[in-house]
Structure 1
Amino acid sequence: MKKNFALILSFVLLAFTACNSDDDQHSDVAVAFAEASYNLTNDATPVQIKFSKAAPVAGTITLDITETAVAYNTDYTTSPAGASKKVVVPFAQGATSVEFTFNKIKNATGTEVKNVVFTISGTSLGAQISGNKTIQLNFNEAASLGTALAAEVGGPLQPNQVYVDLSSGKMTTAIRNSWDLGFYSGTDFRVVLNSSVKMAAKQLTTINIDEVQVADETMIISQGTGIASQIDDPTGDITKTTIAAVSATDADNKVYLLYLGNKPAATAPVLGKEGAVGGDARGWKKIRVLRSGSDYKVQYADIAATTHEEIVISKNSAYNFTFLSLIDKKVVNVEPQKNQWDINFTTFTNIIPGATPTPYFYPDFVNSNLNGNAKAYQVLTSAFTYDAFTLANVDNTKFTADQRNIGSNWRGTSVTGADGIPVSQFVLRTDRFFVIKDPAGNVYKLRFTGGAKADLERGHPTFQYALLK
């Protein structure tokens, strides 16, 4: 009898241990909100939850709701729908992030404080909750009225890209050589190059990624060299990437040779000169991009390799692109969500027009969020002064589909020396300002107030802006 009891007890303990092991088998996965808080400027806002690694199984994340001066179905709803102060968000196997939509019904009025806090209370796979466990969504009747900001691009070497959201005054910084390729989240299957490091791509005739390739030094971009067709269209037109649209037919997707461009320079330049151009070469890769259902499948390797690695890149509708580092072999965070930034301070590979259009590398460049539907245009002070310019003066026909409408137009790079010969030096152009329409339709005027220190060290842009009403 004692023997039988001991045997039964051992089975019970074994079953209990197995259940606990099953509950904890995915504890190496962590989940967190992508943002800690957000001011609501749109009627519908995607809210993203990120995974530390791909979800090993399909499942759900449960969110608790805490409300301040709001009520579900009166002031807001969610998709998927909430009930009993909870929202359950499903995710698929292999997901690296998931999102739900917050639908604002009523704005805050006057000094009224209205917000909703979502808290991750549990997951079906027993994942850890690490980082931003909560997100607070604040109801706003209007966007920020404007302020003065300094974009931390990092001095004359400009190692940073800085994304600016005018409606909140928030700036997000990314290391510009932390990524290589951006995979478009829209309807098309498109891949963009990192133009901030002078990347170039060349289509090969083969579809075999394991064929040995050799470097092609005609692809290398320096000031006035390189091949214009081997970089993305600098206007930002997503249909004009140098890598062809990824076909649903695998046999149509060729291998590409990639020149990875240059790192930022390692030493500061002479005062007055820019130093962003001449860092160490980042090397070469070969890639082939295929479709995998609604995702991308990327094959990549060193150019002399006879084997390759693969990674699946999922589209994420909350963002313009998902970014991949071929050097670090992982997805990296770069841009904020597509409706949460308006302009980007960066270095940039532009094209000098002419009989033979040629790539040319620009520091101190500002792009608008064209893929997120933010646009800009320039106004000369000979037509309107900045202070007098109002919403009634906005010319909507000038919001053209070119991300470079600010570009390098806000500054010059030389002055005339004592001997009449141009001398390299930052020059702020004070005879102009810019009008910017953000993804939510808010319109701002913006003028640059500086770009260099008093000792002429470049890479210190400052600006001010105001909401037009």
Structure 2
Amino acid sequence: MKKNFILILSFVLLAIGACSSDDEVALPNAVAFASTSINLSAETTPIEIKFASPTASAGSLTLTVTETAVANGTDFSTTPAVAANTVVVPFEKNVSSVSFSFKKLKEAIEGEVKNVVFTISSVTINSVISDNKSVQVNFNETASLGNALAPGVGGPTQPNQVFVDLSSGKMTAVPRVSWDLGFASGTDFRVVINNTVKMSAKQTTSTNIDEVQAEDATMLINNGQGSTTQIDDPAGDITKTAIAAISATDSENKVYLINLGSNPSATNPAVGSEGTAGGSSRGWKKVRILRSGNDYKVQYADIAATTHDEITVTKNAAYNFTFLSLLDKKVVSVEPQKAQWDITFTSFTNTTSFGTGLLPYNFADFVLNNVKGGAKAYQVLTTAFTYDAFTLANVDNTKFTDDQRNIGSNWRGTTGGTDANGNPVSLFVARSDRFFVVKDPAGNVYKVRFTAGVNAAGERGNPTFQYAILK
């Protein structure tokens, strides 16, 4: 957060330096929350909002309020008070920050998700609302000390993506085929494709959504086939999506051909194998995405259609993305709120080398960390530290990176074995020579080790893991 404000302040100072002494145009200030997530540890907590430079005059900020499993006046109160789902926070001239008080009236129990999201909607003085325009106030006073969990991905076809919140132990399972596009909630206008089903996207030269398109076999992702330019950056860099940033100029937003990828296999594969993408094709669509104020306008249709459907997708600052199903023609719920999950179990479109450079490749039994929500991870080999002996003092913060694949497929592998007939087979194993360090969006740090990836019958898609908070 401090880094963000240094950048904001640098921008403001640079703009001031670029103006002549005779320039009387008032430059906008920048305003943002000091933190994007707060775990309540006291009955009353001050929530700080910062300005990049001292305020030119007195004024007020208006905050919108979004409640999850709580009610104003019953579970919490604020000073100034909430009225009509808003809080108006006054500030004086020549101040660099302002705060309001949040009072917790009821506790949450472990595993219970209760929070309030405050979002800056307007400022009475000339200001720019920066990226950190929302803060999520979580009622879970203390994070879970640890647990042993079994995410329900659904067996060897792994039809579910499971999001895990380590601080509460809560797991959220969502069918991987329930969504197609994710629309970023930040200031950038970026759209991601479903990276769990071998989906790809290719820009056309057309801006006419009603122009007939044709299937493109080169977009299919199979062993040794596909293009890295047609998938989102596997590391999770939001500036490197297959669909270009959505321009404010409509004529710059092209139609995209979308290969919707593959369904999970309809039947279970042989024991020890996976069927995450062995099912039928999910088909093809064409889409064109425009801006609609601060939201997205999506035009979409079957590729042979000469008419189209249209839907507005609204940004929601409490989430990393708002998700759309092109097949069901509606906005759908996928990820939990951005500060309410840390890792997810899924299949995933990563890249691998086939001897001629990197190509897209479907990985089963993959684990991503919520890098966009602020969760980071790194690997520790047991030759350096044992899991039991590893403490908070051993954490190396320089090893946390912005790559969402830092757990990835590193937690599992294969080993030689034989089947019931004595034939050699490769057996799936959870690696015991390593564990992982995960820092959640609230700053809690955990050690995580994976204990299995198969059930007693050897069927994949049955992961288990354990974790403990580091203190």
Asked whether the equivalents of residues 108 and 140 of structure 1 are also in contact (C-alpha less than 8 Å), the reply is no
Asked whether the equivalents of residues 67 and 115 of structure 2 are also in contact (C-alpha less than 8 Å), the reply is no
* CA distance in structure 1 between the partners assigned to 2:439 and 2:209 by the alignment: 43
Q: Which residue of 1 aligns with 2:452?
A: 450
Q: Which residue of 2 aligns with 1:7?
A: none
Relative to structure 1, the CA distance from residue 408 to residue 102 in structure 2 (aligned partners, 3 Å threshold; closer, same or farther) is farther
Give the TM-score of the pair, scaled to structure 2.
0.74
Asked whether the equivalents of residues 107 and 139 of structure 1 are also in contact (C-alpha less than 8 Å), the reply is no
CA RMSD of aligned residues (A): 3.2
Q: Which residue of 1 aligns with 2:429?
A: 427
Asked whether the equivalents of residues 65 and 86 of structure 2 are also in contact (C-alpha less than 8 Å), the reply is no
Asked whether the equivalents of residues 382 and 433 of structure 2 are also in contact (C-alpha less than 8 Å), the reply is yes
Output the amino acid matched with 2:454: A
Output the amino acid matched with 2:324: L
Q: Which aligned pairs between 1:28-177 and structure 2 lie closer than 5 A? A: 40=40, 48=66, 65-67=73-75, 72=77, 77=78, 81-82=80-81, 87-89=83-85, 104=102, 139-177=139-177
1:348 aligned counterpart, secondary structure: strand
Q: CA deviation at 1:65?
A: 1.6
Q: CA deviation at 1:140?
A: 4.4
* CA distance in structure 1 between the partners assigned to 2:159 and 2:176 by the alignment: 6
Output the amino acid matched with 1:433: F
Question: C-alpha offsets along residues 4-42 of structure 1, whole Å, 9 cap, x if unaligned?
Answer: xxxxxxxxxxxxxxxxxxxxxxxxxxxxxxxxxx97579
Relative to structure 1, the CA distance from residue 379 to residue 102 in structure 2 (aligned partners, 3 Å threshold; closer, same or farther) is farther
Output the amino acid matched with 1:464: Q
Output the amino acid matched with 2:439: K
Q: Report how many aligned residue pairs link the two structures.
A: 378
Relative to structure 1, the CA distance from residue 381 to residue 173 in structure 2 (aligned partners, 3 Å threshold; closer, same or farther) is same
* CA distance in structure 2 between the partners assigned to 1:103 and 1:184 by the alignment: 30
* CA distance in structure 2 between the partners assigned to 1:370 and 1:116 by the alignment: 22
Q: Which residue of 2 aligns with 1:317?
A: 317
Asked whether the equivalents of residues 220 and 261 of structure 2 are also in contact (C-alpha less than 8 Å), the reply is yes
Q: Which residue of 2 aligns with 1:415?
A: 416
Which stretches in structure 1 are left out of the alignment for 5+ residues?
A: 1-37, 51-61, 92-100, 119-136
* CA distance in structure 2 between the partners assigned to 1:351 and 1:102 by the alignment: 47
2:177 aligned counterpart, secondary structure: coil
Could you tell which deviates more after superposition, 223-232 or 257-266? Answer: 223-232
Give the TM-score of the pair, scaled to structure 1.
0.75
Output the amino acid matched with 2:341: W
Question: C-alpha offsets along residues 136-173 of structure 1, whole Å, 9 cap, x if unaligned?
Answer: x9744421111111100001110000000001110111
Q: Which residue of 2 aligns with 1:293?
A: 293
Relative to structure 1, the CA distance from residue 427 to residue 297 in structure 2 (aligned partners, 3 Å threshold; closer, same or farther) is same
* CA distance in structure 1 between the partners assigned to 2:180 and 2:394 by the alignment: 40
Q: CA deviation at 1:370?
A: 0.7
Relative to structure 1, the CA distance from residue 116 to residue 255 in structure 2 (aligned partners, 3 Å threshold; closer, same or farther) is closer
Relative to structure 1, the CA distance from residue 215 to residue 170 in structure 2 (aligned partners, 3 Å threshold; closer, same or farther) is same
* CA distance in structure 2 between the partners assigned to 1:230 and 1:211 by the alignment: 21
Q: CA deviation at 1:423?
A: 2.6
Q: Which aligned pairs between 1:296-307 and structure 2 lie closer than 5 A? A: 296-307=296-307
* CA distance in structure 1 between the partners assigned to 2:115 and 2:196 by the alignment: 37
Output the amino acid matched with 1:448: F
Q: Which residue of 1 aligns with 2:35?
A: none
* CA distance in structure 1 between the partners assigned to 2:452 and 2:330 by the alignment: 36
* CA distance in structure 2 between the partners assigned to 1:327 and 1:286 by the alignment: 12
Output the amino acid matched with 2:74: T
Asked whether the equivalents of residues 412 and 429 of structure 1 are also in contact (C-alpha less than 8 Å), the reply is yes
Q: Which residue of 2 aligns with 1:347?
A: 347
Q: Which residue of 2 aligns with 1:212?
A: 212
* CA distance in structure 1 between the partners assigned to 2:114 and 2:435 by the alignment: 37
Q: Which aligned pairs between 1:344-383 and structure 2 lie closer than 5 A? A: 344-353=344-353, 355-383=356-384
Question: C-alpha offsets along residues 309-328 of structure 1, whole Å, 9 cap, x if unaligned?
Answer: 11000110000000000000
Q: CA deviation at 1:66?
A: 1.6
Q: Which residue of 1 aligns with 2:336?
A: 336
* CA distance in structure 2 between the partners assigned to 1:138 and 1:378 by the alignment: 28
Q: CA deviation at 1:266?
A: 0.2
Output the amino acid matched with 1:82: A
Question: C-alpha offsets along residues 377-410 of structure 1, whole Å, 9 cap, x if unaligned?
Answer: 0000000000000011001111011000000000
Asked whether the equivalents of residues 149 and 465 of structure 2 are also in contact (C-alpha less than 8 Å), the reply is yes
Asked whether the equivalents of residues 39 and 442 of structure 2 are also in contact (C-alpha less than 8 Å), the reply is no
Runs of 4+ in structure 1 deviating by more than 2 angstroms, as ranges, are: 38-50, 101-109, 115-118, 137-142, 353-356, 413-425
